[in-house]
């Protein structure tokens, strides 16, 4: 039916555990994405850090320290990331992934093969793929 490999993004913006949190924030904004897989040097998935996780930084900072903390590069992704990540394999069912996206508060799912990150699939990717299929069906050949 649907092959995840046809829909997922394979050029994934990632960070490492020791990446400064503000650098991770810059990547989110620069690439207009809402979450970053956290990988080790072998591209093994070790966590995920999302814009929601990053909002915890605001809560963690004392309002009076806010300005001095903005330039602090010692605060790393490891402090804010989620370590227990729900992921799927490229051969898994798109229906299972959609069910997960519907029933969890996720916007994206890492795609992993043999423990290594090979792609990412977002709600927007699936919707875009559905529209692409619809346009192909309506196009006269």
Report pLDDT for 86. Answer: 95
Report pLDDT for 65. Answer: 59
Structural domains in the chain, CATH included, are 4-138 (3.10.580.10)
Q: HSE of 21 in the Cβ direction (CA atoms, 13 Å)? A: 23
Distance CA 32, CA 19 (A): 18
Distance CA 57, CA 12 (A): 24
Position 136 confidence tier, pLDDT thresholds 50, 70, 90: confident
Position 72 confidence tier, pLDDT thresholds 50, 70, 90: low
Report pLDDT for 117. Answer: 97
Which DSSP string corresponds to 54-107?
Answer: HHHHHHHS-GGGHHHHTT----BGGGT-BSS---B-TTS-HHHHHHHHHHSS-S
pLDDT averaged over every residue in the chain: 88
pTM (2 d.p.)? 0.85
Provide mean pLDDT across the span 74-101.
Answer: 93
The string of pLDDT tens digits covering residues 48-71 is: 999 999 888 777 766 545 555 555
Report pLDDT for 69. Answer: 55
Distance CA 2, CA 7 (A): 8
């Amino acid at each position: 039916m649907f092959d995840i490999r046809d829909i997922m993004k394979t050029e994934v913006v990632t960070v490492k555990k020791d990446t400064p949190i503000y650098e991770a924030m810059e990547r989110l904004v620069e690439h207009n994405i809402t979450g970053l897989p956290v990988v080790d040097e072998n591209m093994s998935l070790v966590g995920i850090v999302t814009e929601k996780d990053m909002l915890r930084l605001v809560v963690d900072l004392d309002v009076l320290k806010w300005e001095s903390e903005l330039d602090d590069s010692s605060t790393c992704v490891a402090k804010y990331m989620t370590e227990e990540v729900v992921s799927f394999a490229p051969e898994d069912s798109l229906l299972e992934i959609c069910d997960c996206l519907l029933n969890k508060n996720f916007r994206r799912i890492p795609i992993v093969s043999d423990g290594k990150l090979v792609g990412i699939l977002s709600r927007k990717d699936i919707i875009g793929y559905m529209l692409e299929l619809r346009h192909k069906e309506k196009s006269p050949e």
